[in-house]
Structure 1
Amino acid sequence: MYSSALNHYGNYLRIFDHKDRNIFKENEEFTSEAKKLIKVRLIQNKFRKGLFDLSKTCAVTGFNSFQFLIASHIKPWAVSTELERMDSYNGLLLTPNYDRLFDRGFISFRPSGEIIVSTKLTKDEEEFFNIPKNLCIQLSSNHNAYLEYHSDVVFKK
């Protein structure tokens, strides 16, 4: 399924990297590790596109600048199945500050969309990050299983 994309990406990498140097020699074979990294990147890009198909803005702030929004997994990538990793309902678009708070378990959301703030954050930190007290984001029931995992495992009560 990904072999054509892997080959195209491999050809791209052979041409140049971010410092305009060849990464791979012309006849060099990709290692299984290189193929794995390329596949991960392709899955992440598909996941991000899927999130933008659902919403074009940060779930918390409504900010809509594509280049600054992060496709954040609700159930972390490391513990998700391959299908869960690509499921758009296992994610939220967030600005970097809210992505960090969410990933580290300092905020979460109830299935109703209501924000939950960890007691591990001080009042000063809440104010610094400008976390809205009565925020309610729009979610689908398809988010529920992932939110339950986030609330039970990731969120710092």
Structure 2
Amino acid sequence: MAELLIDLIGKEYAAVAERANDLHYKAECDVLEEGIVGRTDIGATMKEQLVKSRRGQGLFKINVRRNEKSCRVTGVTDPRNLRASHIKPWKDCSDIEKLNGCNGFMLAPHVDHLFDRGFISFADNGDLIISPTLDRSILQRWGIPDVLNIGSVKSQAPFLAYHRAHVLRK
């Protein structure tokens, strides 16, 4: 019965479900940020850097930009149009990993969305991995080829292994 209803409402259901997931994700991140602000084992500067790192700003973005000059998927180079995206999710990182530049890519916002939500990842050889749950027409509409190699990811390999195991939708 539920499947029949889902079939009848189709894309509207998918949009509502995705919005609910977005709200849950934001609430989870807000709780994590509150946890950092309430810590007594670190100073105010470290608290600020850790919170900024979750948002892809501050010291984390500086550290990622040391290794990544552009979005490896789109080629965009203007940092105003790029996000510093954690490979191993911020919520799962140690304080050191949260600021580690090797735990990130500079990504265009639409690529960051796909990567952050586990719709895409990258193999150790740099090949794009596409989740079977992603409607591949999204890639075409966003100008992302479904066969792509982003080059060497050697320094990011341990973080990518985590991303493939725990974030990439199966």
TM-score range, shorter chain: 0.7 to 0.9
2:159 is paired with a residue of what secondary structure? Answer: helix
Which residue is 1:53 aligned to?
66
1:84 is paired with a residue of what secondary structure? Answer: helix
1:7-156 equivalences under 5 Å are: 33=38, 35=44, 38-41=48-51, 43=53, 44-156=57-169
RMSD: 2.0
Which ranges in structure 2 are unaligned for 5 or more consecutive residues?
Answer: 1-36
| Contact in 1 for aligned 2:119/2:133 (Cα 8 Å) | yes
2:110 is paired with a residue of what secondary structure? Answer: helix
1:144 is paired with a residue of what secondary structure? Answer: helix
Which residue is 1:24 aligned to?
none
Deviations 1:67-125 (A, max 9, x none): 01100000000010011111111100000000000000000000110001111111322
Once residues 42 and 126 of structure 1 are traced to their aligned partners in structure 2, the CA distance between those partners, rounded to angstroms, is 29
- Which stretch of structure 1 is more off in the superposition, 81-90 or 43-52? 43-52
Q: What is the TM-score of this pair, normalised by structure 2?
A: 0.67
| Contact in 1 for aligned 2:50/2:98 (Cα 8 Å) | no
Q: What is the TM-score of this pair, normalised by structure 1?
A: 0.73
The structure 1 segments of at least 4 consecutive aligned residues displaced by more than 3 Å after TM superposition are 32-37, 41-44
Which ranges in structure 1 are unaligned for 5 or more consecutive residues?
Answer: 1-31
> Displacement, 1:131?
2.2
> Displacement, 1:144?
1.0
Aligned length: 126
> Displacement, 1:142?
2.1
User: Which structure has the larger Rg?
Assistant: 1
Which residue is 1:20 aligned to?
none
